[in-house]
Structure 1
Amino acid sequence: MLVNLHISNYALIERLDVEFGRGLSIITGETGAGKSIILGAIDLLRGRRADSSALRDKTMKAVVEAEFDVHNNEAVQRWLASQDYELGEDNVLVLRREISPTGRSRAFINDSPANLQAMQELTLALLDIHSQHQTQQLANPRTRLSLIDSLTADKSLLKRYRDAYEGYNDTRKRLLQLQQEIDVASTRREELLEQYDYLSKLNPKPGEQKELETLFDLQSRANQLKEDMSLTRKNLDGYEQSARSLIERSLSLLRHMRISALETGQNGGPSVIDRLQSILIDLKDINAELENLDGEIDDDPKQLARTEKRLDDLYQAQQRFKTEDPERLPKLLEEMKREIEESEDPGVMLPALRLELHHKAKELKEAAVALSQQRTENAKAFSEQLQQKARLLGLPNLKFEARITPVKLWSQGADLVDFLCAFNKNQSLVSLEQTASGGEASRLMLAMKAIVAGKLQLPTLIFDEIDTGISGEIATLAGRMMREIGENLQVITITHLPQVAACGNANYKVFKQDNENETLTRIRRLDNDERRYEIARMLSGAEVDEAALQNADSLLKNQIQ
């Protein structure tokens, strides 16, 4: 419910503060007084784009602020919670738009910054404005279905469908997620098997690469090593001047000297002859080892190529698996083998989940059929009641049909509803949007609101001259219908008809006030005497005399009976 509206520095408004209550609030005023300015300001709260040209004082910002009591508005409370906006314990919601002199606009929800889309979404559940040239939410499929569903007090079929729809979608999402997991697992397993096959064929061994690198170093230098080895062996024992020959000749000479000091070592140690003899033995052993090592040096080009090829394969594997550690490949091979052996197939859950989805789909279809049957009955009753209400509002020739059309399952059922009508005799039924004038559509909406008032949670209704094109008794009936709706909803009506104005629970007047240098728009809540005078003015259209006041008294008396 709209509790308070504040507007400052906007168009002809310097400052305006007005409080609204429950029931039917009537706003009147002469043409051009500024009623449309107030609605324009309210439209800013509904997310309309701002224009700095609307600023009264171009050096100051314009502010439009509205305070709402939303303690009974569950839709608003859910939206605020879903968007992380806080709502105080008093359940008061404050919307604000500010327009700077530069044209920059800012929006706030309970003092928290908001974008225009958020304002638009939120105010759909707060304000429902109907003017001569707007049918607004009647074009919204959800609004039409809500009107039809509202005729049934028992909402169990609708709840059953929504629960089934949610359950079906939940199971469907889980199935899609499982299939994605299966696809990911399958792809991973294929990649793993491919990598394992590659690595198992390579079959790297711990320490192998280091050994091969050492071997490759030897094989790549094999010819030079053999030449050096051959020369070393000759120097040790290969020709007359080799080390072995020289030592043997030296031993022979020493023995022939027969010097006891050469045959007996000093201080009990080995003698010189013994030491040379030991060197000779070591030379023979060294030469034998060198001979063996020479035999191990492989100078076969084919063997060198095989070693080089094996090293290249190991290096490529390291690059493929992004590792510089030569010992990582054997470990990786073991890890892959273990992962393949231990991996579980998520596909085992697929049949059960598919069966669950089948059952959910069956439940959803059954719920949709039951709901469609109920809606078909409601649509017929809604059409009949609307035609009756519309006749009271000056639409005697109206033919109306709420036609249920089957569609693909969606969040609101298996149906859409079209509003078809003809306002004249011998006219074929066509879509409401195509045939209704602004006044006809507005009165049609008034009749609809009267049918569902109290059954459907609706926001504040604002009717902008919805009574255009009617007068007399029909205007009286329209005013009473608005007052009737106001028993369950807050209704704010802008009107030029005294018959409608007399039905209000509260009356407000918009007027212009001329100051020395400017003209300002004001609004004031009328007391009983002022209300009587305003209705008399609307009746007389000229100066208010005693006869006009008496007529106003009579009208007020009749309208509130």
Structure 2
Amino acid sequence: MLTTLSIKNYALIDSLQVNFSNGLTIITGETGAGKSILLGGLSLILGKRADLSSVKNPSEKCIIEATFDIANYNLKGLFKEEDLDYEPQTIIRREILPSGKSRAFINDTPVNLDSLQALGERLLDIHSQHQTLQLTNDDFQFQVIDALAENINLLQDYTLQLNKFKSLKSEFKKLQNQKIEAAKELDYNLFLLKELKEANLIDGEMESLEEEYETLNNIEEISERLATSHELFSSQEIGVMLHLTEAKNQLSKLADFSANYKSVFERITSSLIELDDVFAVIEDLQESLEADPNRLNAVNLKLQVLYNLMQKHTASDIAELIQIREELSEKVSITENLDSVIAQKETELAIIEKELNVLALKISKNRTKSIPGLTKQLETLLAILGMPNARFNVELMPSDTFLNNGKDDLKFLFSANKGGQFNELKKAASGGELSRIMLAIKSILTNYTQLPTIMFDEIDTGVSGEISNKMAAIMQQMSKTMQVFTITHLPQIAAKGDTHFKVFKKDVDDVTQTQLKRLNQDERIVEIAQMLGGVNMSSSAIEHAKQLLN
């Protein structure tokens, strides 16, 4: 239940803090006094999006904070799901910063609006005049029936399976489309893959092939130059090796004379060793060199194949061609295996569809069983509320498709008069009748849903004085098991509250502010008398107010 509410810098409220108790709490005040401001502040606590225009002083932070006693409402599981610390006295705070940004906290832990809404739905139900119009909405009507049918767990299972079914069906359609597209490309992909496989691609082969091609294609020039080099090394007349060897022999006789001679001797010795190795390599190259027109042709053909493939696939090297080959192989494999994958998905779809049908049937049976009880309770309560001839005809019809909440279509038909035709609620019920029907439904729902607090915003609109007594009695009955707030303009309802608050405007330093005050017994008499007879209340209005309070 809501125990405290603190509002700072919001709309016409400068600073407000109020404590609430259980039972039936009445809120009254003149039109425009600011009752809607309280509802707006509470809506922010429940996760409504913030609006900087609702901040009183936009240069300062707006803070709305509410404390809820949740010890008896089995909410530990929800706190665990949302990864929040559970506290029996839970504090929810919303802040609107001057920048326009909004922050939310549950027990000082920052949360997003989804978490705030998930908790808010379990703490407080604000019934506004707009919500009365929801009576004519199929989703709300299903919520009512499913609450009585105790379908909550079944609907959770159904939703989980339905999401799986939709996801699987999407995959199935995607695979079917993929198969159609793949079939068009299969022949071409097979041709490309065959080309790449026949090329016997080896990563890094391009460089060695190009080098071999250059050697074979220029073998005469290479042979000639190697021969010349060999002669320069080994010739008796001009051979480098012969002359250097003679120089080494001459220097060897000087090596002992000084360090400089020895250094030169060592260097020429080292050079001879290196040149001797070079000479050996030249001889090896000469021996290995062999003209091979067939091999030259084969290397050239292989290079042309590689160049053509690289150009066709816009690849920069063989590694990219190998990657393209693997991708094509995977595409072909997927295409060839699509039939088995599609068949498997089809089997999975059939299994989930069967499970969904079982769940939908259970949900529908529970709804069918609950409808007579719902209509009986509604008609009983509406008779108390001055509608003795009100009748409901709730029709549940099987649907061919899976809907978000089962496989039922729903018609919620109503007749206000004896012998009258049944018609849709929005066509058959007036505004006042809709208010009474909504109160009756909320009263019934309290027996099936564990909600700590409900707030009625002028649910008595369009209701006469006598009927308002009956409405107040129903709200009193509801307040025995939950905390009930009602914003009202009717003195008959205001008199039935356990506690009574008045919303009013007051000018402070030439600035209009909305304030909220808890009324004592004498103040309640005055407030109710004014509701009966206006500001200039008569003695009879005061007496009437006392009678209502007693």
Structure 2 length-normalised TM: 0.69
Match of 1:483 in 2: 476
Match of 1:254 in 2: none
Match of 1:387 in 2: 379
CA distance in 2, matches of 1:483, 1:80: 31
CA distance in 2, matches of 1:321, 1:439: 76
Match of 1:89 in 2: 87
Match of 1:308 in 2: 300
Structure 1: segments with no counterpart, 5+ residues: 236-242, 245-288
Match of 2:357 in 1: 365
* CA shift digits 1:91-148 (9 cap, x unpaired): 5041324263x7x242313245556666556544443323345426546644322311
Change (3 A) 1:383 1:165: same
CA distance in 2, matches of 1:503, 1:121: 32
SS state at 2:480 partner: coil
Match of 1:285 in 2: none
Match of 1:127 in 2: 124
SS state at 2:353 partner: helix
CA distance in 1, matches of 2:512, 2:206: 96
Letter in 1 for 2:214: D
CA distance in 2, matches of 1:539, 1:70: 38
Match of 2:4 in 1: 4
Q: Verify the 8 A CA contact 1:394 1:470 in the aligned structure 2.
A: no
SS state at 2:148 partner: coil
Are 2:295 and 1:297 equivalent residues in the alignment? no
Q: CA deviation at 1:421?
A: 3.1
Letter in 2 for 1:145: F
Match of 1:216 in 2: 213
Match of 1:504 in 2: 497
Match of 1:107 among 92, 100, 103: 103
Taking the TM superposition and a 5 Å limit, the aligned residue runs for 1:310-389 are 310-314=302-306, 355=347, 357-389=349-381
Are 2:396 and 1:404 equivalent residues in the alignment? yes
Deviates more, 1:486-495 or 1:160-169: 160-169
Match of 1:144 in 2: 141
Change (3 A) 1:143 1:487: farther
Q: Verify the 8 A CA contact 2:2 2:20 in the aligned structure 1.
A: yes
Match of 1:22 in 2: 22
Q: Verify the 8 A CA contact 1:164 1:360 in the aligned structure 2.
A: no
Q: CA deviation at 1:173?
A: 5.5
Letter in 1 for 2:373: A
Match of 1:440 among 414, 425, 433: 433
Deviates more, 1:491-500 or 1:535-544: 535-544
Paired positions, count: 487
Letter in 2 for 1:163: D
Change (3 A) 1:170 1:3: same
SS state at 1:135 partner: helix
Match of 1:450 in 2: 443
Change (3 A) 1:439 1:208: closer
CA distance in 2, matches of 1:14, 1:81: 36
Structure 1 length-normalised TM: 0.68
Q: Verify the 8 A CA contact 2:172 2:346 in the aligned structure 1.
A: no
SS state at 1:415 partner: strand
Are 2:91 and 1:98 equivalent residues in the alignment? no
Q: Verify the 8 A CA contact 2:431 2:462 in the aligned structure 1.
A: no
SS state at 2:94 partner: strand
CA distance in 1, matches of 2:465, 2:498: 20
CA distance in 2, matches of 1:514, 1:440: 39
Q: CA deviation at 1:176?
A: 7.5
Letter in 2 for 1:3: T
SS state at 1:68 partner: strand
Are 2:56 and 1:68 equivalent residues in the alignment? no
SS state at 1:488 partner: coil
Q: Verify the 8 A CA contact 1:99 1:105 in the aligned structure 2.
A: yes
Q: Verify the 8 A CA contact 2:65 2:91 in the aligned structure 1.
A: no
Letter in 2 for 1:8: K
Letter in 2 for 1:25: T
User: What percent identity do the matched residue pairs reach?
Assistant: 35
SS state at 1:6 partner: strand
Q: CA deviation at 1:514?
A: 4.5
Taking the TM superposition and a 5 Å limit, the aligned residue runs for 1:190-229 are 197-198=194-195, 200-203=197-200, 212-213=209-210, 215-222=212-219, 224=221
Q: Verify the 8 A CA contact 2:175 2:342 in the aligned structure 1.
A: no
CA distance in 2, matches of 1:14, 1:62: 9
* CA shift digits 1:21-54 (9 cap, x unpaired): 2221111234443323323333444555655555
CA distance in 1, matches of 2:285, 2:48: 99
Q: CA deviation at 1:492?
A: 0.6
CA distance in 2, matches of 1:37, 1:231: 105
* CA shift digits 1:400-446 (9 cap, x unpaired): 33332433224522124343335467865444345655433222210
* CA shift digits 1:201-234 (9 cap, x unpaired): 234689986775455234322555688899999x
Match of 1:471 among 444, 456, 464: 464
Match of 1:267 in 2: none
Change (3 A) 1:220 1:426: same
Match of 1:261 in 2: none
* CA shift digits 1:47-103 (9 cap, x unpaired): 5565555554565443332223344556x766655554x233335041324263x7x
Match of 2:265 in 1: none
Change (3 A) 1:354 1:515: closer
Taking the TM superposition and a 5 Å limit, the aligned residue runs for 1:281-292 are none
Q: CA deviation at 1:180?
A: 8.5
Q: CA deviation at 1:12?
A: 3.4
Match of 2:157 in 1: 163
CA distance in 2, matches of 1:118, 1:18: 25
